[in-house]
Amino acid sequence: MLEEEKTNYEIEEMLQTELRRPSSEPADMGSTLKQLEKQTLKNGMRHSVFWVKRNEKHDEAVHLRQDTSDHSEYRAGNQYTGEWNRNKKHGFGVAVTSTGEKYEGYWKNNKREGSGTLYVKKKGRFRKHYQGDFFQNKKHGMGTLFGENSKYEGNFKDDKRHGSGTCEYANGDIYEGEWRNDQRSGRGLMLLANGDRFEGTFRGDKKNGAGKYYYRDTRKVYEGEWIEDIAKCGVYSDLPAEFGGSAGAEKKLTLPELGLKNPDEVIHTSIGKMRAKRQKEAPPLTADEVFSMQEMQQLKESFKAADKDSVGYITSSQFKRSLTGLGLVASETELDQLLVDLGCDPVNFPFAKITFDKFAQYLCLMRAE
């Protein structure tokens, strides 16, 4: 701090000397001001820099003409120790805010960017809240979030859990799968503390879509459609042979026989109606909601490889080859039917121009199915 005061004093002396220069002597004020500005910039590694602000309690006491001895005129604000570049936090540094946050990690142009650890103060102590990647002051990339009742490890986007990740809950449940905008959304596996498990589709943090629920105690499995965490239509049966069947069930459960003439047809029709209703009521998913950042990058690379002439679009035939390149296992007949369903087959749409947005949306629809 003494070194800074001395520097400021020297700068003031230089400025006063320049101002006292006789008018007969020409002065290059532009270069002098640039020199002075350069000397005031914070660059490189610095000791702690403190910010202070007015103490509202002190000002209130002065306004009411009360004793101010219990309140200082200023109170501590933020604190930063680390590297600077032209008066901006840049490089590695540690910042402590007046709101109870502490960040240790890398900065770029005054913003948290790169790897770092964020702490929050609780009961007078700093506790780790997040450790991982940051971008533009937000959690972005790979990281671990330590919540009140859970621990999440996986992908983040714009400060939210987004992409693939695993969340362990305080009650013993574990979710492994896809996330969108801080919610379980997409394909996922839920392992419950009681031994049950669910494999299927989530949306809006709830089971929505096709899925299988395995019951540990009864050795049964339900396979069907879910809406808002509720099983709506499906088949309830013994566990498959690869899971040991129904042998060793802790609870005996005998299902009554149904008297339907065509149970398979009834189930198939009901599930079809349920899916149509869900798709009609639910807003369409965007590609960013369905695919993780890594998957979106793969799609961009695949599209770029198909668009050899860099014209910004691909044909139906090129799209068909891209599907195979992305690992879609299907026969020629199945691929042709898929393109017909999407409305971009070469026969009916020989001059179709599929941009990347359409390309991603088509794949989004395929993933949803």
- Residue 6: CA atoms inside 13 Å, Cβ hemisphere, count? 3
The two three-digit tokens of residue 25, written as one number: 């002597």
Tokens of 51: 């910010």
State how beta strands 206-215 and 174-180 pair: unpaired
pLDDT of residue 23: 53
Cβ–Cβ < 8 Å for 255, 248: no
Higher pLDDT, 244 or 97: 97
Hey, what's the torsion of the CAs at 85, 91, 95, 97, to 10 degrees?
60
Say whether pLDDT at 150 is over 70: yes
pTM for the whole structure: 0.64
Pick the CATH number of 287-368 from 3.30.1600.10, 1.20.1630.10, 1.10.238.10, 3.40.710.10: 1.10.238.10
pLDDT of res. 6: 42
Quick check: 5 and 12 in contact, CB under 8 A? no
Count of alpha carbons within 13 angstroms of residue 211, beta-carbon side: 25
The total of other beta-carbon atoms located within 10 Å of residue 171's CB is 10
Specify the pLDDT at position 1: 36
- Whether 280 has a pLDDT exceeding 70, the answer reads no
Residue 199 has pLDDT above 80, yes or no: yes
Annotated domain spans of the chain: 1-40, 41-116+133-140, 194-283, 287-368
CA dihedral 223, 290, 309, 339 (to 10 degrees): 30
Name, of 131-140, 249-258, 326-335, the range with top average pLDDT: 131-140
CA pair distance 24, 73, nearest whole angstrom: 47
CB 345 within 8 A of CB 266: no
pLDDT attached to residue 287: 72
pLDDT band at 340 (very low <50, low <70, confident <90, very high): confident
Q: What's the token pair of residue 121?
A: 């103060």
What's the CA gap between 26 and 99, in Å, rounded? 52
Q: Distance between CA 320 and CA 322 in Å, rounded?
A: 5
